[in-house]
A and B are shown apart, each in its own frame.
Chain A
Amino acid sequence: QVQLVQSGAEVKKPGASLKVSCKASGYTFTNYAFHWVRQAPGQRLEWMGWVNAGNGDTKYSQRFQGRVTITRDTSASTVYMELSSLRSEDTAVYYCAREIGGDSAAFDIWGQGTVVTVSS
């Protein structure tokens, strides 16, 4: 079954770090790029960055540069997103998504989303 399965909900305190996993199955993991997109309550989808699962290349949104790290483990067909120095504004649903084509913004498979709450 072609899918992405993400890790469960998280509650974090301000200043803490977050790591969300996204496991791929049903296709050749290294043939694709995987992106992380978040959606704060009532807000638009916001791109955070991507990783090329084949060669490990990454690119991050300027907005998150220095705070976000995206990695992949080819042996586990899993991508990870780490976000540091959390603040209340980081409360959102975080999605991983598989991109079709290159630099296309076309994401055909999405994870189910990970709800992250940042609160003291």
Chain B
Amino acid sequence: QSVLTHPPSASGAPGQRVTISCFGSSSNIGSSTVNWYQQLPGTAPKLLIYSNNERPSGVPVRFSGSKSGTSASLAISGLQSEDEADYYCAAWDDSLNGPVFGGGTKLTVL
């Protein structure tokens, strides 16, 4: 099954900038837009970035996304304690004819 991969963990001190990467293939990231989700413990995922770099209403500007080829990145600047969560990338996969998700990166704010 097609999947997206990213590092299992990331960390940073308050105020710092962290980047989370997501790697896919030509059947998903390479041919589709990328979305990012934030999931706090015990809650449903929340859409953070869609269409590679668009922020839904209410998402702070310190969250940004980018895509290049078959990989994508989520950047969080001015890290805050409430950013401590799991982050997932997602993209439509042409082989699956459905969405695929990354395994999640657990962000720790030191």
Cβ proximity bits A43-76 to B, threshold 8 Å, 1 near / 0 not: 0111101100000000101110000000000000
The interface residues of chain B lying within 8 Å CB-to-CB of A37 are 99, 101
Give the nearest-CB partner of A4 in chain B: B44
Give the nearest-CB partner of B44 in chain A: A110
Q: Quick check: A111 and B35 within 8 Å, CB to CB? A: no
Cβ proximity bits A94-114 to B, threshold 8 Å, 1 near / 0 not: 010000110111111011110
Q: Quick check: A47 and B47 within 8 Å, CB to CB? A: no
Cβ proximity bits B27-71 to A, threshold 8 Å, 1 near / 0 not: 000001101010000011111001100001000000000000000
State A104–B51 Cα separation when bound (angstroms).
8
The interface residues of chain A lying within 8 Å CB-to-CB of B91 are 105
Q: Quick check: A59 and B97 within 8 Å, CB to CB? A: yes
The interface residues of chain B lying within 8 Å CB-to-CB of A50 are 98
B23 contacts the other chain (Cβ, under 8 Å)? no
Q: Quick check: B88 and A44 within 8 Å, CB to CB? A: yes
Q: Choose one: A49, A110, A113; the contact of B98 (CB below 8 Å).
A: A49
Q: Quick check: B98 and A107 within 8 Å, CB to CB? A: no
Size range of the chain A interface in the assembly: 20 to 34
The interface residues of chain B lying within 8 Å CB-to-CB of A112 are 44
State A106–B51 Cα separation when bound (angstroms).
8
B96 contacts the other chain (Cβ, under 8 Å)? yes
Q: Quick check: A110 and B51 within 8 Å, CB to CB? A: no
Q: Quick check: A35 and B44 within 8 Å, CB to CB? A: no
Q: Choose one: A35, A62, A95, A104; the contact of B50 (CB below 8 Å).
A: A104
Beyond the given pairs A44-B101, A104-B35, A104-B92, 6 more chain A to chain B contacts, judged by CB atoms under 8 angstroms and listed by A's residue number, are A45-B37, A47-B96, A50-B98, A95-B44, A104-B50, A105-B32
Top-10 shortest CB links A-B: A105-B99, A110-B44, A106-B50, A45-B101, A105-B90, A44-B103, A106-B35, A105-B92, A47-B98, A47-B99
